[in-house]
Structure 1
């Protein structure tokens, strides 16, 4: 395994909010798209060493996409990697295509354009038909057939856009707070959304006689679940026979801008971040001053969601910091000779969990993490992206840098080639990942270039850290980010999650 922080100024030291791979390109290189607080999307090529195909040797800048007017929060390619969807604080959902020849777009600086090796154009601009104007978009996801895109917005709404028609064909406004993550079922039956109102909503897709999506039908809401109680406050020992209903997710006071949930590529497993594991007898909701909340990740099976059962099938408890982003490896892998897998599947799934300062990689066969990588970034992680071959995971952060983890084939296992079944069965009793906290198996040093700038005493970090490249503005209302990145208005609040344990 190889892991490292890539020391270039991806977006002129501005925060990076999202990234994704594009599978096209030369054999010994990977194409990567990043989006940041400088209102731009940039295209890169990662080149690898000749002797070590898993280590990045150099990075080439290819192009910059500059049609967004405010910070870009999310970038995602469709399944064929020929259309790039981007969205951000300006409320625009833009669909980009690469030009066959070099062409300078309006607003691109001549000096910057001289460094371009390729150019892109806006194929379509999608906006909801609302009188109040478009709201900030935090997350988006393509449908499996690439005909639709779902978005989650700051106005508490979930919207579905028809790519071919260029219009909004369905919407739901049943959340009570910002929608910070959305996921489309690979089996094309429902959409999941996660909000700062500490809930996950499941919406069934409503189709007309021709099969086109015509609406969203609210199906179920996951807010509370049956969890085993801890034997004592702050204990990592559980009483599995003592099960009580408790809130599953952090409320809006969690200082996180994204809650990116994910569905497995087979559609049989849903993994949800921003979870909490509370003492069942506790009356505290925030844990402030009581130290009663532990951070967790919850996994639900498709069968449970279809039965409207909010009881998680698997819990990864007692994380050091809140989980913010989940991303599944795009491939299914063969099982080893494990007798009792955590989830009863005929194959193994791998998924990455990003907290504010660590990336943990799990599989569905064993309870222990495959690896834990820490000390990659000094400010919260914002997004994860697996390469198409599943051998590399890219990580973005508000500190303005990206890092990567690459795997050798033997570490992941052999690919599963059999037909994927639609439903899975699991034990009715809740399962938990190991209670003992694992140690970090790969701590990477970070070397930063010094940047001369004034340091605000209120922004000093502890001696174990160095100053971030990003200045994070403090605001009094932690649940309400600003709607603009202009200098005349307060910037959106993107701060480091606090330690809850």
Structure 2
């Protein structure tokens, strides 16, 4: 793996707030506080034994305020971008003699305040957005109109996501709740319409005092004082589990909270109360974004103690305010830790469609680009194999992806990993002192130490 903070003028030295890769061409799109969207082509550095880079392609100018979130449609022909002031724009690609050109297609008007996050449905028919006006809106992308408003949150909605199987949607707010919505289609004049209703409000969990027979309920998530406008959550590609950032776990009411990301099993979402199935190792700073690699990988068979019961591997990235962890579902310990590459908060994560690039955007005005060598992350499953393997795993209406474990067991079995995570970041407490470095955990001696290089 090679990478580092690319030292170019991304958005006139202003904060880069979001990033995403085109699902077909692999172009990297970034949005920033300069009100613009820029498209970049990645440049590999592996053959030259250098860090990867980017070359500027084009500029999309229309927004009149900072662009907080952008996402390409899964089919690749549209791009959605949300900005301050409630601006939400759909861009559409056009093929010309000069090449591909992106033009404003629709302006979606209803949010009264800043749009902080958005995501397309798997089929590209709908878009969900979250806003500072405390609401989520499901949009009909073809009509460019409001399909449904979900307005039960009491504070900013900072993260939204779709279940890839179409049954659920989720929203995450600084009111310290994650809401899970289930699709209960309604019929009007014989026509069935999607209709999402809130099934669960995930907010608190019990923490047991060792000397008290009664348990106390503590909040699972950080409050509005979290120094980030983003809590970007994500589903796994098979829909088997939901990964939620901004976790704050207390094993007892008197213990110090530990920063974490939670894993919620799909099968638990059908129960009366949804509780985390797994708590990922804590970091010194809060988790603000998570993102899955788009590829599905073959099992390596190196870990028999995995908490995930999948016949394949997923790889996902977890970003804190000042560091990055990369995990796979075959183990619970991060396979790579990247720290000290930015001077201000990380804002977004994006994987390229081939899984060979991972991009981080930051409020310091720069982006970090990591490049993975062929099969460095593992052996990808071919599309035909993936369809069969994932299809078999999902034949049951409720895929069993995660072993049943208690929260207390989850915490106890990870104390050493949490300590290692803190050691990795102890020289980066302010996000400024440490030199850029990419490390693997000390307990993974087989992995090599890599140092990213800046691009000239």
TM range (shorter): 0.7 to 0.9
TM-score (norm 1): 0.76
Alpha-carbon separation, structure 2, partners of 1:366 and 1:324: 22
2 CA distance for matches of 1:266 and 1:292? 35
Highest relative contact order (Cα 8 Å, sep 6+), 1 or 2? 2
Corresponding residue of 2:261: 297
Q: Relative to structure 1, is the Cα distance of residues 371 and 168 closer, same or farther in structure 2, using a 3 angstrom cutoff? A: same
How do 1:180-259 residues align onto structure 2 when only pairs under 5 Å count? 180-209=158-187, 213-227=193-207, 245-259=217-231
Q: Are 2:84 and 1:94 equivalent residues in the alignment?
A: no
Relative to 1, partners in 2 of residues 1:54 and 1:82: Cα closer, same or farther, differing over 3 Å?
farther
Tell me: CA distance 1:326–1:61, structure 2 relative to 1, closer, same or farther (3 Å): same
State how many pairs are aligned: 413
Deviation digits for residues 314-373 of structure 1, max 9, x if unmatched?
112431110000111112222222322121122222111100110001112112110101
Shift of 1:406: 2.0
Which residue is 1:260 aligned to? 232
The answer as to whether partners of 1:170 and 1:213 remain within 8 angstroms in 2 is no
Pick which of 61-70 and 421-430 moved more: 421-430
CA drift of 1:254 comes to: 1.4
1:147 to 122, 125, 141: 125
| Residue of structure 2 in register with 1:472 after alignment | none
Give the CA deviation at 1:182. 0.2
The equivalent of 2:433 in structure 1 is 464
SS in 2 for 1:186: coil
- Change over 3 Å in CA distance of 1:153–1:83 after alignment to 2: same
Say which of 434, 446, 466 aligns to 2:414.
Answer: 434
Say whether 1:404 aligns with 2:374: no
Deviation for aligned residue 1:223: 0.3
Taking structure 2 as the reference length, the TM-score comes to 0.83
Flag structure 1 segments of 5+ consecutive residues without an equivalent.
Answer: 104-116, 233-238, 283-290, 444-460, 467-501
Whether the 8 Å CA contact 2:342–2:431 is kept in 1: the answer is: no
Indicate yes or no: 2:400 matched with 1:424: yes
Which residue number in structure 2 is paired with residue 413 of structure 1? 378
Distance 1:93 1:163 in 2: 12
1:324 counterpart residue number: 288
Query: In the alignment, is the contact (CA less than 8 A) between 2:169 and 2:182 conserved in 1?
Result: yes
Deviation at 1:50, TM superposition (A): 6.9
1:161 matched to 2:139? The reply is yes
Number of the residue aligned with 2:78: 83
Output aligned runs, 1:356-367, within 5 Å.
Answer: 356-367=321-332
Range that drifts further, 257-266 or 118-127: 118-127
SS at match of 1:90: helix
Q: Cα deviations across residues 226-262 of structure 1 (Å, max 9, x unaligned)?
A: 4566x89xxxxxx9x9975321001111121100011
For residue 454 of structure 2, what is the aligned residue in structure 1? none
1:314 aligns with 2:278: yes
Per-residue deviation, 1:46: 1.6
C-alpha RMSD over aligned residues? 2.9
